[in-house]
Amino acid sequence: MRIMVMDIGKTKTFAIIMDEVGQVYAKAVTGPSGMWLKEETIVKNLGEAIKECLSKGNLSLDELDLISISWADLDTRADWENAWRIAEKLGLSKEKTIIEHDAVAAYYAVTWGKPGIAMIAGTGSIGFGINKRGERARSGGWGWIIGDEGSAYWIAIKALNAVSRAYDGRGEKTMLSKKLKEYFSIENELEILTKIYKEMSGEVKEIAKIAKIVDEAANEGDIIARRIMEEAGKELALCVLSIAKRLNMEKDEIIVGGIGGVYKSKHVRRVFHKLLEENLPNAEIREPLIGYTPILGPIIIAFKKLNIPLSEEKVESILASLSE
């Protein structure tokens, strides 16, 4: 049996081919294919990931038994219709393909299908949960213009704002000013305008990379940077708590965890965990999944669809293969 599993996000598209035992035969990483991107970009990056994976696995699409996809930005009916249209355009048949919102897949990666909540914090942010009655709820995921609080992009914008305020004398001085000038190879803060609006054209993924600099400054003792990272942790926790409240899970024994690069920050993790421990006394708070591990969600969805038992040993073996 051959199964293709894909994690389609705002930052990258990751695809693997595996069997029912958990052995990974091929993997491929290409550019982002989230549904908010232009269709030609989605088709190009998604198509390249599929083609490369099939080539490495010496297989054709017809030889695959199932294709399980976790796809970012599937928020409206139109998004879902476009996703299926693109999938069919690339040769993926509905009979052998499962498509889920990446927040749903994240939930499965964190909880393995048990009652709980997953909180994504990568380029963007969104939370999703299911209670013991099967009721569902989401929080966040409003995009970089409206929300995405706690995401890498949100952190970056907070930092850019702090630097602008420090430069004008409207805010406190911050190490971020020096660090951003070094990052952009510029001499004056006003040159950031050219970098962001002209050279980057406001590109969300590129701007989000600044979040790493903010965390670095926080680790070096900058108060403003640390405040931003701590606020990110608080915002992510608030999303989780809002889901727990709406699903009446505040006192339940549930599983909660984060997914995404933002959780690399010790400041984010500390505040996130503290607020959850204080407000969800019976929750099992798991360590965040970072890197390629979010693909565990669509893997679990595929195994459940095929009624294949999934043990911790099998999961560890799969994740070990992905890190090689």
Dihedral sign, Cα of residue 234, residue 239, residue 242, residue 247: negative
* Residue 288 DSSP class: P
Kindly report, residue by residue over 68-81, the tens digit of the pLDDT.
999 988 888 999 99
In the chain, the percentage of residues whose pLDDT exceeds 90 is 69
Confidence at residue 78, expressed as pLDDT on a 0 to 100 scale? 92
Instruction: Look at residue 313 and tell me whether its pLDDT is greater than 60.
Output: yes
Confidence at residue 194, expressed as pLDDT on a 0 to 100 scale? 92
Instruction: Look at residue 14 and tell me whether its pLDDT is greater than 80.
Output: yes
What are φ and ψ of residue 13, in 5° steps? -120, 120
What are φ and ψ of residue 259, in 5° steps? -140, 130
Strand, helix or coil at 99?
Answer: strand
Domain formed by 3-92+292-323, architecture: 2-Layer Sandwich (3.30)
Cα dist from 4 to 27, 34, 308, whole Å? 9, 18, 15
Stretch(es) of the chain classified as CATH 3.30.420.40: 3-92+292-323, 113-290
Q: Going by DSSP bridges, is the β-strand pair 136-140/125-130 parallel, antiparallel, or unpaired?
A: antiparallel
The C-alpha atoms of residue 7 and residue 294 are separated, in whole angstroms, by 7
Considering only CA atoms, which of 166, 109, 163 is closest in space to residue 288? 109
Kindly report, residue by residue over 37-47, the tens digit of the pLDDT.
889 999 999 99
Instruction: Look at residue 90 and tell me whether its pLDDT is greater than 80.
Output: yes
Kindly report, residue by residue over 192-226, the tens digit of the pLDDT.
999 999 898 888 889 999 999 999 999 999 999 99
Confidence at residue 190, expressed as pLDDT on a 0 to 100 scale? 93
The mean per-residue pLDDT over the stretch 101-126 comes to 90
Confidence at residue 35, expressed as pLDDT on a 0 to 100 scale? 86
| Whether the Cβ atoms of residue 28 and residue 4 lie closer than 8 Å to each other | no
Q: Hey, what CATH topology would domain 113-290 get?
A: Nucleotidyltransferase; domain 5 (3.30.420)
* Angle in degrees, 0-180, between the axes of helices 296-305 and 102-111, rounded to the nearest 10: 80
Q: How many CB atoms lie within 10 A of CB 121?
A: 33
The C-alpha atoms of residue 323 and residue 153 are separated, in whole angstroms, by 26
The C-alpha atoms of residue 214 and residue 138 are separated, in whole angstroms, by 28
Instruction: Look at residue 324 and tell me whether its pLDDT is greater than 70.
Output: no
The C-alpha atoms of residue 290 and residue 280 are separated, in whole angstroms, by 23
The mean per-residue pLDDT over the stretch 222-237 comes to 98
Six-digit token string for 100: 């889920």
Confidence at residue 1, expressed as pLDDT on a 0 to 100 scale? 87
| Averaged pLDDT of the chain | 92
Confidence at residue 233, expressed as pLDDT on a 0 to 100 scale? 98
Confidence at residue 155, expressed as pLDDT on a 0 to 100 scale? 98
The C-alpha atoms of residue 192 and residue 106 are separated, in whole angstroms, by 35
Instruction: Look at residue 292 and tell me whether its pLDDT is greater than 60.
Output: no
Considering only CA atoms, which of 136, 148, 85, 78 is closest in space to residue 107? 136
Instruction: Look at residue 161 and tell me whether its pLDDT is greater than 80.
Output: yes
Considering only CA atoms, which of 221, 138, 242 is closest in space to residue 179? 221
Burial code (b: 16+ CB inside 10 Å, e: under 16) for 220-247 equals eebebbbbbbbbbbbbbbbbbbbbbebb
The C-alpha atoms of residue 35 and residue 209 are separated, in whole angstroms, by 20
Confidence at residue 318, expressed as pLDDT on a 0 to 100 scale? 78
Confidence at residue 311, expressed as pLDDT on a 0 to 100 scale? 79
